[in-house]
């Protein structure tokens, strides 16, 4: 399995290879308007792509990975080395700077040294996760290799900081859109949110235009079924994709819960 360059909530890294098997044989431009950590983009490596997210610092970081991988790797090395030499105050100093200036280099450093690698923002859009004291963060040499590898995979991708409907506004018949929006039953766990009814209207418009889409959405965790009752006329096929075990455990028997996420296709 490939290594992530950006750790983001709701990652599809464990599902990427299986989701890839559902791709249509031919399609034009690939669109991904809820990009996050970009696992599906990496797995596909399309010839022509437009990818977006409403989190501007995230998109700025993607553009740095694409256009300036060497400089980005060096910036991480400088920050990481300071943390090892000067201790935990460096992390919080850089976090304060990021919350003022929103530099992508600082976001990368924070994402690789914070608790459990969880990029988390408060209601004011400020990064608020703490330093992971028991781990030093990924070594600069290792991260440099990952950054350069991803940079090669995304050279044919245009990155934009926009709402999902704006990112895909130029999509046309023959194109493909992969959708991984904030899930219906996980409000508050992801950056931003979407209006469910507006999103259904959006899917309807894609069908009218003859644009193929793949939608990852709520599924099953253990014995609990969180599948959303999407209108049947919006899709042609519904599959369950295994995504490993949940980090949430049953209180009584302490067993991991197997998770399956939904994948909807409109062809």
pLDDT tens readout for residues 118-168: 888 998 889 999 999 999 999 999 999 999 999 999 999 999 999 999 999
CA distance 136 to 216: 33
Average pLDDT over residues 12-21: 95
Non-local (6+) Cβ contacts of 204 within 8 A are 234
Q: Domain 16-54+162-265, what architecture?
A: 3-Layer(aba) Sandwich (3.40)
Looking at residue 249, its pLDDT comes to 45
Known binding residue 106? Answer is no
pTM (predicted TM-score): 0.91
> What are the E-state strand segments in 1-80?
30-32, 49-53
pLDDT at residue 251 is higher than 50? no
Looking at residue 255, its pLDDT comes to 61
CA distance 194 to 164: 9
Residue-wise pLDDT tens digits, 202-227: 999 999 999 999 999 999 989 999 99
DSSP state of 95: H
Q: Which two tokens stand for residue 99?
A: 């919350």
Domain parsing of the chain, residue ranges: 16-54+162-265, 64-152
Looking at residue 252, its pLDDT comes to 43
Computed over every residue of the chain, the mean pLDDT equals 92
Known binding residue 53? Answer is yes
Question: pLDDT confidence of 185, banded at 50, 70, 90?
Answer: low
Known binding residue 60? Answer is no
Q: What are phi and psi of 20, to 5 degrees?
A: -60, -30
Instruction: Give the angle subtended at the CA of 190 by the CAs of 88 and 126, to the nearest 5°.
Output: 45
Known binding residue 175? Answer is no
Q: What are phi and psi of 25, to 5 degrees?
A: -60, -40
Place of tokens 């859009």: 125
Question: pLDDT confidence of 245, banded at 50, 70, 90?
Answer: low
CATH number belonging to the domain at 64-152, selected among 1.10.10.10, 3.10.350.10, 1.20.1560.10, 1.10.1020.10:
1.10.1020.10
């Amino acid at each position: 399995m490939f290594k992530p360059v950006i750790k983001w909530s709701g990652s599809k890294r464990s599902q990427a290879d299986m989701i890839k098997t559902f791709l249509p044989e031919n399609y034009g431009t690939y669109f991904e308007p809820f990009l996050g950590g970009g696992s599906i983009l990496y797995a596909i490596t399309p010839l022509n792509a437009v990818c977006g997210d409403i989190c501007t610092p995230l998109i700025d970081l993607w553009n740095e990975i694409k256009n300036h991988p060497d400089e980005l790797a060096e910036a991480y090395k400088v920050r990481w080395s300071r943390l090892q030499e000067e201790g935990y105050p460096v992390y919080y100093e850089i976090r304060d700077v990021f919350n003022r200036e929103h530099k992508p280099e600082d976001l990368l450093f924070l994402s690789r040294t914070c608790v459990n690698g969880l990029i988390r923002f408060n209601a004011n859009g400020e990064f608020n996760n703490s330093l992971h004291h028991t781990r030093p963060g990924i070594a600069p040499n290792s991260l440099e290799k990952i950054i350069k590898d991803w940079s090669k995979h995304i050279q044919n991708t245009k990155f934009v900081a926009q709402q999902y409907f704006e990112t895909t506004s130029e999509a046309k018949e023959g194109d493909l859109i992969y959708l991984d929006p904030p899930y219906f039953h996980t409000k508050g766990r992801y950056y931003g949110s979407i209006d469910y009814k507006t999103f259904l209207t959006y899917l309807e418009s894609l069908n009218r235009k003859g644009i193929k889409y793949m939608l990852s959405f709520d599924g099953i965790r253990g014995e609990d079924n969180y599948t959303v009752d999407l209108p049947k006329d919006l899709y042609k096929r519904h599959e369950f994709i295994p995504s490993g075990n949940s980090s949430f455990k049953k209180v009584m028997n302490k067993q991991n819960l197997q998770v399956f996420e939904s994948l909807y296709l409109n062809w």
